[in-house]
Structure 1
């Protein structure tokens, strides 16, 4: 086994996908899937049945033996968001650990969105060219639909809808047996769920291109030529396909497209969903891709490994997601950019003091970007509003604990201050409490440097001395308000780092 080979496993709603990948080259050594339909249990009864747990355990043990046969030492196993929707998901997770020795990590919706974006950025052919015009990536899993928009070649926004075809089928199954026109009823149901999404789309932005991907695209996957990862069709071609599939019998679908009974039952909701999205977006070209969440895990791991086969910045989409959230809540862009700039300067120049790494720097940049969004609700105690808005929003690429950390850092950037013993941060472990305190202290200083909201300071010099941290600012106006604000907010900095922080300013003539 090469030292760069890793194993990846995704427990989805209908399959357990796995791969063995050489991170150095991003080439797959082995790839496969075991059919285990957790989704049918979850969407029907909200729990994973014991028989399904048995099937999961068998699949995971088989995959684990294969990994060991290849000599793969590091295996990442994740459960999709739909898996953890089950009310007994934590019990099932513990049972799988005891029976297989494998720990199933939970993915948030924002993490899934991040990995899917990484998949297309790293593996979709001519992605930059396709996304020069407005493009929507539509990832369809059995339980949900993730819509990620790109404009001018760059990430725009992401939305998740609980509208996967298996979920729609389970919700509509009783109704389908009692109405004369189930296609029309299902179409109306899907349209009602899409209404809010369409309303929130950016104005005056056209999306002529659509990329379809995901684990629930079995019927479309049959259209991809052998040996190719994508196929392109135009809108008229898709209309013809839509008419064929919505009128076809289950027997025809099963035989012609080689679908299982479960996959056949999802054809109608899948085709209707895609057709209504394409019609609503007025898209002209459609790419059908066999990329899945599994591919995003591979690309992300290869990027972290330093592979030359992946030429993407994994933090780029995360930061754009944060800026989009700030824009949505009308944060003052000049103060935001000022705060981000000086928060990062303080972080970089005080590394010996805080001892934190690259990931913590990213969390600080995100917190500095979104810290004032609560003012959209009310400027009074806006930091409290920032806290719950951040926790309720989709910031792609962050784990659930990281998103809560960002929200807490934002809460304490202003006049609200955590207790010196950090006893009010009980939901975090000791290590995370310290990170929150250190980053919040830096953010408070950066925010104080623009207390007047006039961006008076043009540059600062940071000097770490034995008895203090000295900031020497060059400004275009008097900085007495900033100095006064720092004296107040700097008290928490001194408590965290054990050194007072002071500001000296000179006005540029």
Structure 2
């Protein structure tokens, strides 16, 4: 890992057809980053553009005003660099040079105008960096104001990127803006669908041949449709991991089309500012789900600006984003570094904990599998993260930080398991009926008890933070006694003493007595 000498503040601005988003981050010397702020403002830059090809003066004025405020915000945090991209409305406007000139002169920001395919690539980076895909592939859909980006890829790379000239504002301007009441008759809605199919015929033809396991929607339009559908028809379902089916979407669309605009604004889950353009966006999703045979779509809160950050970090040596890591591992490393953990100690404890896990399995001390091993690896790396708050009681602080961190790629149960493994790596040992783990299922409860015990001894084996213990394994589990064999260099008396003084925790967890054998290493 290449440390940076000083921290750096960078702002990322995404100028879309409907809204402007900003993300300000601090790049830390230890190759982690800290989010300082993220904000969004509705500007409707593309309002009226798609009928005559020009940005309206009032839309330009709104956009310049917000960009000027965002630039001031970025510089108030000390940003030394602003990375800014403009998308569909700007790239298609005949008078885009006027907007770009004013943004430079009045806001001090030079925007890059990116193609639809580059926009899709950045969205892919943003979405894929927040999902643990494993060996699966995903299709993503991002419905913007002027265009819709669709792509297919796995955790390593994209395979297809497409951009359709069909967006929520564009469809509204072209097909529904003349309606006084806001009600959209079936024949009008079908006209929108025909246009989308015609506009996207080549892109959808290429996408139909692509294999994917999961589908994600990552725009405000899709999020609003999912929220509305869930509250209307499935209020018993939790928001997390809600899947919007095509059947439910069609039911929601029919209901929304039947309502006047003012009533549509008051529908549960509806974002009032999107009510006038939601039908145009829904038609795009409806067509794509039908044409690409997507039975259901999950929601991601990741977007273009997240992809801009990932793309930026991927070109910087030392940042985990520049390495071929899984989303989960990258997220864990990012959290640990952002809280200033002792990374050398964390890596030593992680290595020893995994050696103990594997040898304990060989000695039939547990029946845990690959998932538990992965949880132990991440919990071991983060076990001391609570020292960021205070060393005293840091295991409790570790539990809080991990439980409440935005760890990408993990579900709530997994973050809870990680937090409790870290919580119990020192001081008291969890019992089978411990109140903190009773809400988990049997497998998760067992994982917390077994893995926290293994982490406990791995921590003992690096008591001095000097990396004296090179290897550790359980051997000779016979007659109710297990031997912990440690191979060390130099004097590891403190490590030996730490294990010997805590053998009661082993007995409580595994039901066997523990002895310790120390072997001097011949390794350098």
TM interval, shorter chain, is: 0.5 to 0.7
- Corresponding residue number in structure 2 for 1:285: 296
Decide whether the 8 Å contact of 2:147 with 2:167 is kept in 1: yes
- Corresponding residue number in structure 1 for 2:112: 105
1:275 to 2:286 alignment? yes
**2 CA distance for matches of 1:215 and 1:22?**
26
Structure 2: runs of 5 or more not aligned: 1-5, 232-237, 326-524
User: Quick one: which of 189, 206, 217 aligns to 1:212?
Assistant: 217
> Alignment partner of 2:297: what SS?
strand
Decide whether the 8 Å contact of 1:230 with 1:289 is kept in 2: no
- Corresponding residue number in structure 1 for 2:13: 9
> Alignment partner of 2:321: what SS?
coil
Post-superposition offset of 1:248? 4.2
> Alignment partner of 1:5: what SS?
strand
1:117 to 2:124 alignment? yes
User: Quick one: which of 128, 140, 143 aligns to 1:140?
Assistant: 143
Post-superposition offset of 1:254? 1.1
1:101–1:286: structure 2 CA closer, same or farther, 3 Å change rule?
Answer: same
1:69–1:221: structure 2 CA closer, same or farther, 3 Å change rule?
Answer: farther
**1 CA distance for matches of 2:128 and 2:49?**
31
> Residue deviations 1:238-280, cap 9 Å, x none?
444444444444233312334335x212211211211221122
Decide whether the 8 Å contact of 2:8 with 2:26 is kept in 1: yes
Decide whether the 8 Å contact of 1:13 with 1:39 is kept in 2: yes
> Alignment partner of 2:98: what SS?
helix
User: Quick one: which of 30, 42, 47 aligns to 1:40?
Assistant: 47
1:189 to 2:189 alignment? no
> Alignment partner of 2:289: what SS?
helix
> Alignment partner of 2:215: what SS?
strand
Decide whether the 8 Å contact of 1:141 with 1:214 is kept in 2: yes
Decide whether the 8 Å contact of 2:185 with 2:257 is kept in 1: no
> Residue deviations 1:68-119, cap 9 Å, x none?
2211211112211321211111122112211222212221223212211111
- Corresponding residue number in structure 2 for 1:161: 164
Decide whether the 8 Å contact of 2:156 with 2:324 is kept in 1: no
1:151–1:18: structure 2 CA closer, same or farther, 3 Å change rule?
Answer: closer
Decide whether the 8 Å contact of 2:55 with 2:93 is kept in 1: yes
Deviates more, 1:232-241 or 1:251-260: 232-241
Decide whether the 8 Å contact of 1:208 with 1:284 is kept in 2: no
1:118–1:68: structure 2 CA closer, same or farther, 3 Å change rule?
Answer: same
**2 CA distance for matches of 1:189 and 1:16?**
27
Post-superposition offset of 1:175? 7.2
- Corresponding residue number in structure 1 for 2:99: 92
**1 CA distance for matches of 2:80 and 2:206?**
45
Deviates more, 1:41-50 or 1:56-65: 41-50
- Provide TM-score, normalisation by structure 2: 0.52
**1 CA distance for matches of 2:104 and 2:63?**
11
**1 CA distance for matches of 2:38 and 2:243?**
24
Number of positions where the alignment pairs a residue of Structure 1 with one of Structure 2:
307
- Provide TM-score, normalisation by structure 1: 0.54
Post-superposition offset of 1:215? 5.0
Post-superposition offset of 1:39? 0.6
Decide whether the 8 Å contact of 2:10 with 2:82 is kept in 1: yes
1:241–1:216: structure 2 CA closer, same or farther, 3 Å change rule?
Answer: closer
Post-superposition offset of 1:212? 0.9
- Corresponding residue number in structure 1 for 2:65: 58
Decide whether the 8 Å contact of 1:208 with 1:283 is kept in 2: no
> Alignment partner of 1:277: what SS?
helix
1:198–1:80: structure 2 CA closer, same or farther, 3 Å change rule?
Answer: closer
**1 CA distance for matches of 2:309 and 2:61?**
27
**2 CA distance for matches of 1:273 and 1:230?**
22
**2 CA distance for matches of 1:311 and 1:245?**
44
**2 CA distance for matches of 1:47 and 1:211?**
32
1:35–1:230: structure 2 CA closer, same or farther, 3 Å change rule?
Answer: farther
- Corresponding residue number in structure 2 for 1:300: 311
**2 CA distance for matches of 1:128 and 1:248?**
42
Post-superposition offset of 1:32? 0.6
Decide whether the 8 Å contact of 1:116 with 1:292 is kept in 2: yes
Mapping for residues 106-505 of structure 1, pairs under 5 Å: 106-123=113-130, 125-131=131-137, 135-150=138-153, 154-173=157-176, 181-201=187-207, 203=209, 205-217=210-222, 219-220=224-225, 222=227, 231-255=242-266, 256-261=268-273, 263-306=274-317, 308-310=319-321
**1 CA distance for matches of 2:319 and 2:96?**
38
Return the index of the structure with the highest Cα Rg. Answer: 2
1:218–1:48: structure 2 CA closer, same or farther, 3 Å change rule?
Answer: farther
> Alignment partner of 1:305: what SS?
coil
1:22–1:156: structure 2 CA closer, same or farther, 3 Å change rule?
Answer: same
> Alignment partner of 2:75: what SS?
helix
**2 CA distance for matches of 1:207 and 1:247?**
34
> Residue deviations 1:310-351, cap 9 Å, x none?
26569xxxxxxxxxxxxxxxxxxxxxxxxxxxxxxxxxxxxx
Post-superposition offset of 1:144? 0.7
Decide whether the 8 Å contact of 1:245 with 1:271 is kept in 2: no
> Alignment partner of 2:14: what SS?
strand
Post-superposition offset of 1:18? 0.5
**2 CA distance for matches of 1:26 and 1:121?**
18
- Cα RMSD between the aligned structures? 3.3
**2 CA distance for matches of 1:113 and 1:270?**
17
